[in-house]
Amino acid sequence: MASAQSDAIPPQDRAHTAGARGVLLASLIGSLMLLIFCARELPAWADQKWPEAAEMAKSIDEALDVFSAPYDAIHGFMQRFADRKFGG
């Protein structure tokens, strides 16, 4: 008699799932990507939502200033897209 499964995932598909290290690695990579792409917005957010951390957010922003190219490229693309789409 086959053992009962607790969900609908077939056993052959369950064998190809990520392990704990893979999940941790994906989380760290995602965190770094967010930090690189969103660091420019961090000081403004901290000023509004968490004033006690505003100085720390500004120091993080200054330290990550070398990574501003991805943010500037995405921001420029979105600005051009909005200008073209909405005629502004």
CA neighbor of 42 nearest in space, from 64, 26, 27, 74: 64
CB 74 within 8 A of CB 37: yes
- What pLDDT shows up at residue 4? 60
State the Cα angle at 52 between 46 and 57, rounded to 5°.
45
CB atoms within 10 A of CB 46: 19
Mean of pLDDT over the chain: 81
CA neighbor of 72 nearest in space, from 47, 29, 38: 38
Higher pLDDT, 1 or 31: 31
Examine residue 76 and state whether it is found in any structural domain, yes or no.
yes
| pLDDT class of 63 with cuts at 50, 70, 90 | confident
Examine residue 25 and state whether it is found in any structural domain, yes or no.
yes
Q: Is the pLDDT of residue 14 over 80?
A: no
**Total of domains in the chain:** 1
The one-letter code for the residue type at 42 is: L
Range of the domain at 49: 20-86
